[in-house]
Structure 1
Amino acid sequence: MWNSLVVIALTLLSLFVARQAMVYTLEYETKDLLEGEIVELELATKQFHPDMRLVEEEFSRKILSHSRNEWFAGLFDDTGKLIWKSELFPDSFESDQATLNPSDQPHAANEKFAFRQADNAIACWHSFQLDSGDVFTIVLGEPTDFIGRDLWSLTKVLLWIGLAVVVIAPVGGYLLARSSLLPVQEIVETTRKLEPSRLEARLPIRGSGDELDQISGEINSFLDLNARYLNSQREFIANAAHELRSPLTAIQTSAEVCLAKPRTADDYREQLETVSEQCQFLRHLVNQLLELAESDARLKVNKVDFDFSDLVQKSVSIFEGVAEEKGIQLSINVPVAISCSGDPQKLIQVLNNLLDNAIKFSPPEGTVSVNLSSRDHEIDFRISNEGPGVDSLLLERIFDRFYQTDPARTHEQTGNGLGLSISKAIIELHEGRIRAESSGNLLEVSFQLPKSKI
């Protein structure tokens, strides 16, 4: 409603401005035309003087050519006496010689055009001096009735336009608003259809490229991201439930065995050891799930500047016994004093995960290589091991949660598939990058982190 009123007000204002502009234009064109015709009469006077009969004939011819507009003219001498006038010359202009005739102002001769309006007429006069020294003043004018007629015609047109705007603007505004709001209504209806069980609904893109299309595109991008997130969460919950089911089943089975009938102390000990092992696995799994939840929440890490070389050596020392027991050789290339900015407790978890996987999947008498280097503004850590290798098609999923390259293996052999996911999340929290590459029977995992600024 208010929009329509604003449109009507602006339209009426525009019509008023157009009318005033028309008035100004008509007056300006009239004055310009009178000045041009007076110049021609001045030239004729200079040409035919002193034969005033020829001068009067030229004046009469000029007035006759504009008889349709009822032009009038008069010629005054330097004393202010009216020498000649046309039939329609107004008496008020003739009697007001002092005002109309500036010949008593010699400096104005040959320089000035003056205008007067009286008795519904507009007149222009111009004084000029001949070579003989005589000064004449020409008065040329026309009635202003034609301006009034043209203005009245224009006013009627403008009134009809204004009336049409008053009638059409509200209706047109309503129709325009309705058509403009149709895409918004589609957005509302689509969003109402969105449910966790129906994530495929998307807003229509009309292809116009306007703001509504841009909004729809942004909302669709958000819906795509939300759908991927919800699907990921569903998969995560399903995998977590599956991982929890196995140890819980083992615990329940051990408890049922103990309760089925009286047993020896050794039997009870064996079952309790199974329960303890499964509880440890559950605690480890729950801790890893909490780590993933923390990374999903994008919690800030407590960054400090520290010697990353020492952290790598510390992690290697933890697994030296395991590697020696399995007959695996550790090849360590770690320069001293390479500083890093990050959370040492979280980063050593990454190093432990990578070393544990490398040793776990290496064959007996195999080699695990650990390399650390510094370049530009980042540090580069690489760990590789001999083993079954990973198909290039599977490398893209190696950091997915609960993903295992060989599902047939047991938890003792492969773990639960969360270690690399947690490592990737921690590295990304440190604004770093991590990737895996496989060539033949060699698998290499590398990550890069920003160097310390000190």
Structure 2
Amino acid sequence: MNSDENWIGARWKSLKTASQTLRFRLMVWNAIVVVLAAGATLAGLREGVRFALYHEVDQLLAEDMRQIVLMLEERPVDLPDMYQTLEQHAEGHIQHGWFVAFLDQEGKVVWSSAKAPDEAIDYPEKLAESRPTEVDAIRFIQHRLEKPSAGIAAVRLGTSLRSIWDDLARVDRQVLGASGLVLLLAPMCGYWLAGRATEPLSDMIHASARLRPSHLEERLPWRGTGDELDQLAATINGLLDRIAVHVSRKQDLLANAAHELRTPLAAIRSSIEVTLNEPRSVEDYQELLGELIEENDHLENLVNQLLLLSETESDRHFIHLHPISLDQAVQRSVEMFRGVAEENGLALHAKLQPSWVKGNVEHLRQVVNNLLDNAVKFTPEGGGIDVTLRRSADQSTVELAIADNGYGIPTEEHDKVFERFFRGDGHRVPGEPTQGTGLGLSICAAVIHSHNGEIKVESAPGEGATFRITLPLHDLRSEDQYGEVGEETVGESAKQAAKGH
């Protein structure tokens, strides 16, 4: 008993699950549409046949009525001969129940053919002229003569509808049979068609189920039909490509960060272990502490850069966007690096147009600082650094260019310089080891992209490098709280920026 109940429960659960599938719903929708369409078509066909049959009967009655009226209008009228002719005609169409009757002025029957139905002959109500009337299974018309002849004032002519009803009954049986066949085949065909339609979705589900964070090479099948399912597959595959790139970049970042953190930590541990191997003087311990502080500074700088890079790739930084004077922010960075440039024998020039953008002043200052630091670092003594800021002709964007005449960057490295932890192969300073964390330019690219801007490099070995940044201009007139843009407003912005730093 329990086994039967378990089997019934399992079957019920299976049917319930199947009824919730898209394939089942498509089958039901298809069956409903097909059945309704077929029902409407068959019903329309049945009504069309009924109309055609009735119309044919009415036409025959009208023709017979015209012929009888012509016979009555002949002069003289041979009534016995006409009665005989009409009786013979009624006998010849007995299977159709054809009949005719002549009425006088008072509506009483003057003469009628044999087997004329009483319900039609004695119909009490007034009839419309030559308009068909139906009583039970009899359809008849009446025509009133303009000039009564031989006591005959009206002609009533009709026929039985039994044969037509039999024909319609046969049509009804055929319609019901066809409806039953459609009702039987519609779900079966609908289930098959739904299976064909949802098969790509099943493949997508199975392919998606095989996806793993560590194995993102799986892609959804593409049939090449160009339909919505192919568009869905292409869209999801594009998303998977972006996810794979994102996961790969995160994995590379984690691996590179671990490597960069391990090196100074290993150096710190090694220095401490060497120092602890034997007693040291106070000066030795002080020297060790100084080295530890330097390594700690390197670690702190690396961690800060990683945090900044993570922040620029999130949505949190958009909360801090506000109108800033970009020329004042760049001017402050230029003044900060002017002393360093002079110490290295470099000429630092700046030509800045007043420009406002909407952004994070700290992040944009970090970008300018990174680019100026690289320019100072990779430009030999006696060189120069030019910083220009100018608005576009249509006043929609502003371009910041920082150019040096240093060692330059090979063309094949132009796209790589913005990758995380990329530090080149020492091309820019021949004979010297590559320094830095390799995060500076990747931070610049992330910050600029988060401000809806673009950054690119133009360089060649021995010809220096120019970094160009394009940002959308901000119209202060759209900010009610800022009023008119002028020297006083820019000056206030500079004071606020100075207080913030």
TM class, shorter-chain normalised?
Answer: 0.7 to 0.9
Give, in whole Å, the separation in 2 of the partners of 1:411 and 1:273. 24
The aligned counterpart of 2:329 is 311
The aligned runs of 1:191-230 (5 Å cut-off) are 191-230=208-247
Answer yes or no: is 1:390 the counterpart of 2:409: yes
Please give the alpha-carbon distance, in whole angstroms, between the structure 1 residues aligned to 2:229 and 2:281. 76
Cα deviation 1:50-98 (Å, max 9, x = unaligned): 24459779968987996764433444454535566555532332233x4
Distance 1:237 1:172 in 2: 55
Mapped to 2, the partners of 1:6 and 1:308 lie a distance apart of 61
The answer as to whether partners of 1:202 and 1:220 remain within 8 angstroms in 2 is yes
1:321 corresponds, among 339, 352, 357, to: 339
SS in 2 for 1:113: coil
The answer for the alignment partner of 1:50 in structure 2 is: 74
Q: Is the contact made by 1:436 and 1:443 (CA closer than 8 Å) also made in structure 2? A: yes
Structure 1: distance between partners of 2:432 and 2:267: 13
Q: Residue 204 of structure 2 aligns with which residue?
A: 187
CA distance in 2, matches of 1:259, 1:227: 47
Q: Quote how far apart the aligned CAs of 1:385 are.
A: 0.8
Structure 1 residues 170 and 398: alpha-carbon distance in aligned structure 2, compared to 1, 3 A threshold = same
Secondary structure (helix, strand or coil) at the match of 2:258 reads helix
Distance 1:219 1:30, change over 3 A: same
Matched with 1:447 is 469
Change (3 A) 1:287 1:16: closer
2:422 to 399, 403, 418: 403
In 1, distance between residues paired with 2:46 and 2:160? 15
Matched, 1:425 2:446: yes
Equivalent pairs counted in the alignment come to 443
Instruction: Name the CA distance, whole Å, in 1 between partners of 2:33 and 2:389.
Output: 73
Distance 1:125 1:24, change over 3 A: farther
SS of match in other structure, 1:364: coil
- Determine which of 376, 391, 400 is the counterpart of 1:374: 391
Change over 3 Å in CA distance of 1:312–1:148 after alignment to 2: same
- 1:91 corresponds, among 106, 118, 141, to 118
- Measure how far apart 1:444 and its partner are: 1.1
Q: Secondary structure at the match of 2:214?
A: coil
Q: Can you list the C-alpha shifts for 1:151-186, whole angstroms capped at 9, x where unaligned?
A: 322232233334435544555555455444433332
The alpha-carbon deviation at position 18 of structure 1 amounts to 6.3
Residue deviations 1:348-396 (CA, integer Å, cap 9, x gap): 1111011111111112111111001123133221111112222333212
User: Deviation of residue 331 (structure 1)?
Assistant: 1.8
8 Å contact from structure 1 (residues 129, 135) kept in 2: no
Q: Does residue 1:80 correspond to 2:107, yes or no?
A: yes
Shift of 1:292: 1.2
> Are 1:28 and 2:44 counterparts?
no
Distance 1:381 1:12 in 2: 69
Mean CA deviation greater in 250-259 or 68-77: 68-77
Identity of matched residues, %:
30
Which of 313, 319, 323 aligns to 1:296? It is: 313
Closer/same/farther in 2, CA of residues 426 and 23 from structure 1, 3 Å limit: closer
Which residue does 2:437 correspond to in 1?
Answer: 416
In the alignment, is residue 272 of structure 1 matched against residue 299 of structure 2?
no
Unaligned runs of 5+ in 1: 103-107
Gaps of 5+ in 2: 1-18, 477-501
Normalised by the size of structure 2, how large is the TM-score?
0.76
- Whether the 8 Å CA contact 2:457–2:467 is kept in 1: the answer is yes
Q: Which has the higher mean CA deviation after the structures are superposed, 263-272 or 309-318? A: 263-272
Q: In structure 2, give the amino acid aligned to 1:397.
A: K
Deviations, residues 120-157 of structure 1 (Å, cap 9, x unaligned): 2222334353699x985443332222233223222322
Moved more, 378-387 or 209-218: 209-218
What amino acid is the match of 1:251?
A: I
**Is contact 1:76-1:83 (8 Å) kept?**
yes
Instruction: Flag the 1:452–1:127 CA change in 2: closer, same or farther, 3 A.
Output: same
Contact 2:220/2:237 (CA < 8 Å) preserved in 1?
A: yes
In the aligned structure 2, how far is the partner of 1:144 from the partner of 1:18?
A: 25
Give 2:10's aligned residue: none
Q: Is the 8 A contact 2:38 2:182 kept in 1?
A: no
Per-residue displacement from partner, 1:8-57 (whole Å, max 9, x unpaired)?
A: 78877777766765664455334433443344345445655224459779
Kindly state the Cα deviation for residue 326 of structure 1 after the two structures are TM-superposed.
1.0
Q: Distance in 2 between matches of 1:297 and 1:180?
A: 40
- Verify the 8 A CA contact 1:291 1:422 in the aligned structure 2: yes
Matches within 5 A, 1:117-266: 117-118=135-136, 120-127=137-144, 129=146, 137-165=154-182, 167-169=184-186, 171-172=188-189, 174-266=191-283
- Residue identity in the other structure for 1:305: P
What SS does the aligned partner of 1:253 have? helix
Q: Distance in 1 between matches of 2:148 and 2:122?
A: 29
- Contact 1:392-1:438 within 8 A present in 2 as well: yes
What's the offset of the Cα at 1:414? 3.7
SS in 2 for 1:37: helix
- The amino acid across from 2:157 in the alignment is L
For the residues of structure 1 that align with 2:28 and 2:405, how far apart are their CA atoms? 80
Distance in structure 2 (CA, Å) of the matches to 1:228 and 1:431:
21
Structure 1 CA distance, aligned partners of 2:148 and 2:383?
A: 124
Task: Give a deviation string over 1:325-350, Cα, whole Å, max 9, x none.
Answer: 11111121123x43332222221111
Q: Residue 9 and residue 294 in structure 1: after superposition, are their counterparts in 2 closer, same or farther (change >3 A)?
A: closer
Q: CA, structure 1 residues 325+59, in 2 after alignment: closer, same or farther (shift >3 Å)?
A: farther
Work out whether residues 41 and 59 of structure 1, in 8 Å CA contact, stay in contact via their aligned partners in 2.
Answer: no
Amino acid at match of 1:419: G
CA distance in 2, matches of 1:94, 1:402: 110
Inter-partner Cα distance in structure 2 for 1:10 and 1:444: 67
CA–CA separation in structure 2 for the residues paired with 1:131 and 1:72? 21
